[in-house]
Amino acid sequence: MAPRFSAPCVKPRACPIIYDRGISPGRRQHQMGVTNSNKVADASAICCGDTFKITLALTAAPDIVENPTDIVLVLDRSGSMSGAPLADMKVGAKTFIDIISESTGGAGSGEIGSGSRMGVVSFAANASVDAQLVTSVADLKAAVDGISAGGGTNHGDAFLKAQGLFEPSSSNARVIVMFTDGVTTSGPAPGPIAAAARAQGTVIYCIGLIGSDGLDVAALNNWATDPDASHVAVTPDAADLEELFAELAANISKPGATNVLIKEKLTSDFELVDIDPPEIGMAIITGLRSLRWSIDSLGVTKSESAALHFTVRHVGSQTGEVSVNEEIEYSDDEQNEVKFPDPKVYVDCGEVVHPEPEPEPVQFSSGPCEEQVCYDMGELSLNAQGRLVELGLTLRSVCPSRRVALGVLLEDGEEGGFRSFKAFVIPAQCGKKCRDIRVEGIRFVVPDTRCHCLSRDFTARAIANYMDTDAEL
């Protein structure tokens, strides 16, 4: 069953109206409220330390948008409704029609939208169908305006005519809104007829106006869908009818989401930089990696979308695909179940290349409780005597799939002194875009012709160029 929505009383005497679809087994149900949720990054690949924007988006719509509903207004036109009561009822009924039209997205076209329909039945001594189940707001209002008062009160025939408008083959939900100001004076007993309608999945609301002929509130409770307090409202004043009809329409359509709270937390690879003020709701940064976005209501009378944009900065060090979300929590009063995607970005922190191999490692172990470890690493040939010079550099913006030829010249400052040149082939990088490549471990052994304790000045030069455009990866 869908979540229930309650509204405060219009007046102390009018009970709150709660929409309860009352779908019987076998009739379809849908997910209500939030119709779409999304989270996207405006970049798919970044470099280490880059910033980019994240967008959280949420769309909600009244329940009736996702759950097309056939609604029949059943309006009392007995003699006791003459004058102001009838006029006020017509205003209220037309307000009801307008709200349903707006809630279903049809306000701009003058229609009831999203697959829903409405009909009008009026009754006195007998009931008549004033409008079949249609979508035209103009036709529905014309039917209401055409009602005139006079005669007795036949609730049984009114329920029969209303229930007869529903099509057995339609999957739309069924709602009857009965308005009356008097007690039954003619026709069949309405109780069994209303019970049969409810058994077929029809939800019945009753609005009672205490008129000159009195009002059988117990009968309204008997006809309406349970619980009575959720489906029956009584007012002694015809002037309150517009407000009561409006509130009932709002509750039948049901808001998409109210008191929305979204809590976002980023992974440790990212930190929050800034939040753009949202057009709907309020957002604040609650920590280095966390924020909170609250919305009072969304999709109350029509489908409505909200978005939050915020900037994050990469603070990690690893290259590869990284998730942005650590966790994201959603809650609202309607208990909508909402999940957001987990966007990922490819982070490029560059590559480190060692053109000369590192010395072969030697592995050894230390036993338990050993305070001293002695291990013979074997033999090491001394290839040259002198001082060791190790250089490193960064090749900027190396494009994918292209090898690089790198040459490094080292010389000391003495006239006729040491000079040495080394050349390397840097393998093609396999990233998705051009990026920096770090080259480390370019080693020279500089012979010492004098005491190695003396200072020496060196000059290093490097040159690089692409070798090809079709290197095999």
Closest to 419 measured CA to CA, from 430, 429, 408: 408
Q: What is the pLDDT of residues 73-120, one digit of tens each?
A: 999 999 989 999 999 999 999 999 999 998 888 877 899 988 999 999
In this structure, the answer to whether residues 52 and 71 fall within a common structural domain is no
Q: Looking at the whole model, is its pTM more than 0.85?
A: no
pLDDT of amino acid 376:
80
* pLDDT of 185: 92
Q: Are residues 202 and 303 in the same domain?
A: no
Q: Which of 260-264, 429-433, 462-466 has the lowest mean pLDDT?
A: 429-433
At residue 460, the pLDDT reads: 92
Q: Tokens 């957001």 identify what position?
A: 340
Domain co-membership, 175 together with 313? no
Considering its fold, how many domains does the chain have in total?
3
Where is average pLDDT lowest: 94-98, 299-303, 458-462? 299-303
**Domain-embedded: residue 27:** no
Residue 61's pLDDT is what?
A: 82
What is the CATH classification number for the domain harbouring 206?
3.40.50.410
Q: Look at residue 19 and tell me whether its pLDDT is greater than 60.
A: no
* pLDDT on residue 385: 61
Find the helix or strand (DSSP H, E) in which 131 lies: strand 127-134
- Provide the percentage of residues in the chain whose pLDDT is more than 90: 50
Question: Quick one: pLDDT at residue 240?
Answer: 85
DSSP secondary structure string for all residues of 354-393: -SSPPPPP------TT-S--------------SEEEEEEE
- 24 pLDDT higher than 50: no
Residues 402 and 261 in one domain: no
Contacts of 455 (CB under 8 A, 6+ apart): none
One domain, residues 330 and 208? no
Question: 253, 278, 306: which is the final residue of a domain?
Answer: 253
Cα 198 from Cα 237, distance rounded (Å)? 29
Residue 198 lies in a domain: yes
What totals of helices (H) and strands (E) does the chain contain, helices first?
Answer: 8, 25
Residue 3: its pLDDT value, please? 25
User: What is the rounded average pLDDT of the residues 156-161?
Assistant: 97
Q: Is residue 366 part of a domain?
A: no
Domain that holds residue 451: 384-473
Same domain for 261 and 231, yes or no, is no
Reduced to 3 states, what is the DSSP secondary structure of residue 229?
A: helix
Query: What pLDDT, on a 0 to 100 scale, did the predictor assign at position 28?
Result: 25
pLDDT of 6 reads: 32
Residue 196's pLDDT is what? Answer: 96
Looking at per-residue confidence, does 361 or 393 come out higher?
Answer: 393
For residues 208 and 112, state if they share a domain: yes
Determine, yes or no, domain membership for 354.
Answer: no
Question: What's the pLDDT score for residue 382?
Answer: 63
Which structure tokens are listed for 52? 């980019």
What is the C-alpha separation between 111 and 261, in angstroms, rounded? 34
Do 327 and 424 fall into the same domain?
A: no
pLDDT score of 103: 85
Residue 308 lies in a domain: yes
Q: What are the pLDDT digits (tens) for 391-448?
A: 999 999 888 888 999 999 998 876 667 788 999 999 988 877 888 899 988 988 887 7
Mean pLDDT score of the chain, rounded to an integer? 84
Do 265 and 204 fall into the same domain? no
Residue 469 has pLDDT above 70, yes or no: no
Q: Is the pLDDT of residue 355 over 80?
A: no
- Of 230-239, 336-345, 372-381, 424-433, least confident by mean pLDDT is 372-381
Q: Say which range, 10-19, 39-48, 126-135, 450-459, has the weakest mean pLDDT.
A: 10-19
Shared domain for 94 and 128, answered yes or no, is yes
* Whole-number Å distance between alpha carbons of 66 and 29: 9
Q: What percent of the chain has pLDDT over 70?
A: 86
pLDDT at 220 over 90: yes
Averaged pLDDT, 317-341: 90
In a domain, 378, yes or no: no
Residue with tokens 């922190």: 349
Phi, psi angle pair for 58, to nearest 5°: -145, 135
| Final residue of a structural domain among 208, 224, 253 | 253
> Which range has the top average pLDDT, 240-254, 356-370, 371-385, 459-473?
240-254
Over residues 295-317, mean pLDDT: 89
Would you state the pLDDT for residue 415? Answer: 60
If you average pLDDT over residues 22-33, what whole number do you get?
Answer: 34
Asked if residue 316 and residue 212 are part of one domain, the reply reads: no
Alpha-carbon distance of 47 to 146, in angstroms, equals 71
**What is the structure's pLDDT at 10?**
28
Residue 381 has pLDDT above 80, yes or no: no
Same domain? 103 vs 193: yes
What's the pLDDT at 234? 87
**pLDDT attached to residue 348:** 86
Query: What are the angstrom distances between the C-alpha of 391 and each of 11, 254, 398, 460?
Result: 85, 71, 19, 9
The pLDDT confidence band at residue 9, using thresholds 50, 70 and 90, is: very low
- One-character DSSP codes across 179-223: EESS---SSS-HHHHHHHHHHTTEEEEEEEE--TT---HHHHHHH
Q: Which of 203, 238, 253 is the last residue of a domain?
A: 253
Query: What is the arrangement of strands in the sheet containing 304-314, beginning at the earlier edge strand?
Result: 34-41, 51-60, 304-314, 270-275
Identify whether 469 is part of a domain.
Answer: yes
* Per-residue pLDDT at 430: 81
CATH at residue 283: 2.60.40.680
Pick the most confident of 41-55, 126-140, 307-321.
126-140
Element (H, E) at 459: strand 458-466
Within a domain: 370? no
